[in-house]
Amino acid sequence: MLKIQSKFTAYMTVLLTVLMLSGCGSEEQKASIQVEASYPTAIPKGQLPTAIRPTHYTLDLQIVPADADFGGEVAIDLMFDVASDFMWMHGQDMTVSSANLTLADGKVVPVTYEQVDPTGIVKLTFAEKAPRGKAQLNIAYRGKVSDALQGIYRVKDGDHSYTYTQFEAIDARRAFPGFDEPGFKVPFDVSVSVPTDMEAIGNAPEISRADLGNGFTKMTFATTKPLPTYLVAFAAGPFDVVEWADMPTTAVRDRAVPLRGIATKGKGEKLTYALDNSRKIVEALEDYFQIPYPYAKLDILAVPDFAYGAMENAGAITYREQLLLLDDNSSLGQKKSYMSVHAHELAHQWFGNLVTPVWWNDIWLNEAFATWMSNAALDNIMPEHKFRQNMLRGSLGAMGGDGLVSARQIRQPIESNDDIVTAFDGITYQKGGGVLTMIEAFMGKEQFKAGINNYMKRFAFKNATSNDFITAIGEKSDNVPMEKIREAFNSFLEQPGIPYLDVKTATQDGKTVVTMTQSRYLPLGSEGSTDKTWIIPVCVGYGMNGEEHKYCTVLESKESSFTLPETGELDYLLPNLNGTGYYRYALGAEGWSQLFGNQSRLSENSMLSLTDSFAAAMGAGKMDFADFVKVAPTMVASESYRVATSPMSDLSFMYYKVARDEAEKAKISALSRKLYKSKLEKIGFDAKADEEGEVINLRGPLVGHLAFTGQDATVRAKLVDMAKAYVGYGTDGQIHEDKVDSNLISRALIVAVEDLGPEFGRNVLQHYLASTDGTARGRLLRAVASTNDAALGAEVLELVLSEKMRANEVGRALYTLMYDDDQRDAAWAWFQDNFEAVKARIPGFTQAAIAGLAGDYCTLEKRDEVKAFFEPRVASIAGGARSLAQTLEGIELCAAKVAFHQDKLTKFLSAQ
């Protein structure tokens, strides 16, 4: 990126100089100077040059959803800042039948179209030089329809075929020749012709439809607002189109917005819940931004096979159908996922769509903001679901990846398409969301909000960079100087890792002096350097003389000290009040025990951050399992299910990875039951009517933990009964969604497949194959892939390469098998034999995940084996190099953690 940018800047400087000179030179001078300012001749490896750029597209497509290719004509209005006889743009795997350039004077110049690079770089050569100024490029072509969920792709659902699109980040170039980068943001006029019994959906409202008389109907959509190519979308097929009530005018919007839901044939009814909840989320976002929803209509599309959770296409958002098709039988988890993903995609209509990053290095401006904004908005309209707490859990979760030496930084330079692919990770979304929470707390909520409004207004329908954002919010800050905000932001955006604060207190003249020493947090076995500092906005909470206090400051150097204003004895010191800071801390034994001893005085988010820092101390080898067992009951006793369930992952790690034998496992199971059984008894295994969400959210993890790590026979037996009832096992053989607790059924099916053996597992497999319901298929597949039976595991593996398994289920099947101790080696061997075939089923943009498939191994021997297999192949996997580096590092760290804890665990357990 730096290289490309500097070359680019140099070129722009030449151009500017030329333009300035040309004002006062003769005609000859101008001509000779312009030759110097030539358009770059080398194939662009990063961003396209901007000296020839689009100002508008007209796109006309002919689509038959079952077909393997499609027809298209594109007219691109261009602006030439330089005269040139060639230009660069994007286009991938297209057969071009005609191409020409119409100059401003009406002259038509033939054009030669040539794809010069496998990543879709195209060189257009003009039969004569095009002068500076306007021109229109016309290309007629045929493109390929993908079966791997990228570009324009087809899906069969039941008896019908459908076509959808997924363009982010760099797949619009498979659908039409163009400038496939976020910085080129212009209006589109799109029309789509489909067989007469079908519908087509676009970004903008349909304005006309014409029967073409040849069995096709042509649907034309209104001109869009300026869009980057990655936000363009269309869909075609015999849809159920559910017209919903328009979203009425609001205090910030003076026009109603039509709202529709689109599902495959027969599934429209299940869109009611999603449609019903859309308006309030849009209104909550408008209320926050004080800017109206930017587009003329909103369609939400439930897509049966989709590579991601959802995609924020302007005005036509696509979702994996599990997220949108809901009813009374849907689990709370599914409903919350819908809320959270829906709010995320709707937040993108502002963050990303209304204001778009100039380049992919700033994709955090889309993803971190949509993550943060969706939780902040949902927290306002449905506080009972505690979305702010969920967001903190998300950013604490991202610390797992951020502890790796191979972690990305949030704002990562983009040097290749691989960097674009790997930019969409937990660091961008969850760490980014956490950093925004920290800056919001630092500035104050109202000023941060005013800053965001400032930014949105200034860059509406345009592009912006991180710097633009920080300037816009800094302008609205009264209490924190702009430069402080910039420094703090940049120190978190532009370096990877988690700040680790070693916190010490001392008493001086009756007052408490707090000293914080920064380093980088690294887990046991890491070979990275801890020598790193950040500019960290810090707020500590403390109890003194029975009262609660708060003190905020900014840490600007490796070691910082500050004196708390009050005089008195400290009850406790909480180094990360409400968990708003993106950092971990270490305390002495007394500090920890004061905090856990005052649990009832701490907020839920303070406790979440505390339990994370405590677990991190164990992860760094500063404490062991015996220390953990001492405080675990305090955590489990918490009223918050998020805090109460936090010790589960360490118990499971000890059970699955560290325990040497069945006897040790049994002791860990007994400990799990001792910690959690009474908690389940208190709320009961069976759900009651009108239960609070927090109880439902506790029951699922409790039941799961007791069934797996706890190996609790009673819980497992109940789950087996539930699974039998679900699939009508031994009765009518039909699926009964209404007979089971949807919040527990996924776990129930896994337990039943393990306990009832392969016959039941094959029954589950048959149900999976017969179902067209994405939610049911997902849970049935995960259950059957959890089998202990080698032959059944092999049957699942064979399905991976069959069309009976949806492309978006391939990852789930393989990851589930690789997660299972009984199946891992067989699945790994099979994967190595079928690597190319598996890769072909996974969309390029999500392929990086396959380099992480072996990440559940935990020994150095396996690390070497995984490395030896992937190293010669990794270049062929988009984003594979980074994914592999992280996987190998993860395996090493796992091995180091086991080595550290194993003897200590044995000693501890033998004393029990």
Closest distance of CB 670 from Zn ion, Å: 43
Closest distance of CB 234 from Zn ion, Å: 20
Residue nearer to Zn ion on the CB measure, 370 or 720 = 370
Q: What distance in Å separates the CA atoms of residue 200 and residue 192, rounded to the nearest whole number?
A: 7
Q: Concatenated DSSP letters for 243-272?
A: EEEEEPP-SS-SS-EEEEEEESTT-GGGGH
Q: 886 burial class (0-12, 13-18, 19+ CB within 10 angstroms)?
A: buried
Instruction: List phi, psi (to 5°) of 877.
Output: -105, 125
The residues near 339 (Cβ < 8 Å, ≥ 6 apart) are: 277, 281, 378, 382, 385, 387
Closest distance of CB 287 from Zn ion, Å: 21
* Cα 399 to chain centroid, rounded: 15
Closest distance of CB 456 from Zn ion, Å: 17
Residue nearer to Zn ion on the CB measure, 367 or 468 = 367
Closest distance of CB 367 from Zn ion, Å: 5
Nearest to 412, CA basis, from 331, 466, 336, 493: 493
Nearest to 542, CA basis, from 577, 587, 504: 577
Residue nearer to Zn ion on the CB measure, 22 or 337 = 337
Q: 819 burial class (0-12, 13-18, 19+ CB within 10 angstroms)?
A: middle
Active-site residue flag, 345? yes
- The runs of H, that is alpha helices, within 307-363 are 321-324, 332-348
The answer to whether 722 and 745 have CB atoms below 8 angstroms apart is yes
Q: What distance in Å separates the CA atoms of residue 271 and residue 260, rounded to the nearest whole number?
A: 9
Q: Does 317 bind Zn ion (CB under 5 A)?
A: no
348 marked among binding-site residues? yes
Residue nearer to Zn ion on the CB measure, 299 or 741 = 299
Q: What does the buried/exposed string (b/e) look like for 548-567 if buried means 16 or more CB atoms within 10 Å of the residue's CB?
A: bbebeeebeeeebebebeee
Q: Which of 345, 440, 664, 809 is catalytic?
A: 345
Q: 342 burial class (0-12, 13-18, 19+ CB within 10 angstroms)?
A: buried
The answer to whether 297 and 313 have CB atoms below 8 angstroms apart is no
Element (H, E) at 675: helix 662-683
Map the footprint of Zn ion across residues 567-586, applying CB under 5 A.
none
Q: What distance in Å separates the CA atoms of residue 719 and residue 717, rounded to the nearest whole number?
A: 5
Q: What distance in Å separates the CA atoms of residue 65 and residue 237, rounded to the nearest whole number?
A: 6
Q: Which residues pair with 71 in a beta bridge?
A: 62, 142
- The runs of H, that is alpha helices, within 728-757 are 745-756
Tell whether the torsion through CA atoms of 34, 36, 41 and 42 is positive or negative.
negative
Residues belonging to the chain: 912
By CB under 5 A, the count of residues binding Zn ion is: 2
Element (H, E) at 870: helix 860-870
Residue nearer to Zn ion on the CB measure, 848 or 854 = 848
> Which tokens go with 644?
């109460």
Query: Residues 236-265 vs Zn ion: string with x where CB under 5 A?
Result: ------------------------------
Q: What distance in Å separates the CA atoms of residue 371 and residue 340, rounded to the nearest whole number?
A: 9
Closest distance of CB 846 from Zn ion, Å: 14
Residue nearer to Zn ion on the CB measure, 141 or 424 = 424
Residue nearer to Zn ion on the CB measure, 367 or 754 = 367
Nearest to 661, CA basis, from 871, 482, 902, 403: 902
Closest distance of CB 370 from Zn ion, Å: 5
Closest distance of CB 464 from Zn ion, Å: 17
Closest distance of CB 419 from Zn ion, Å: 18
CA distance readout (Å), 180 to 119, 122, 169, 183: 11, 11, 9, 9
Q: Give residue number: closest CB to Zn ion.
A: 370
Q: Could you give the 3-state DSSP secondary structure of residue 137? A: strand
Quickly count: other Cβ atoms within 10 Å of residue 18's Cβ.
Answer: 18
Q: What does the buried/exposed string (b/e) look like for 591-627 if buried means 16 or more CB atoms within 10 Å of the residue's CB?
A: bbebbbeebebbbbbbbbbbbbbbbbbbbbeebbbeb
Residue nearer to Zn ion on the CB measure, 370 or 435 = 370
Map the footprint of Zn ion across residues 507-546, applying CB under 5 A.
none
Closest distance of CB 369 from Zn ion, Å: 9
Closest distance of CB 359 from Zn ion, Å: 17
Residue nearer to Zn ion on the CB measure, 367 or 650 = 367
The answer to whether 740 and 756 have CB atoms below 8 angstroms apart is no
Fill in the DSSP letter of residue 525.
T
**Peptide bond between residue 794 and the one before it cis (omega within 30 degrees of 0):** no
Residue nearer to Zn ion on the CB measure, 11 or 351 = 351
Closest distance of CB 349 from Zn ion, Å: 11
Query: Residues 355-394 vs Zn ion: string with x where CB under 5 A?
Result: ------------x--x------------------------
> Which tokens go with 247?
């979203």
Instruction: List phi, psi (to 5°) of 165.
Output: -130, 150
Q: Could you give the 3-state DSSP secondary structure of residue 868? A: helix
Contacts with Zn ion, residue ranges (CB under 5 A): 367, 370
- Going by the annotation, the residues of the binding site for Zn(2+) are 344, 348, 367
What residues act catalytically?
A: 345
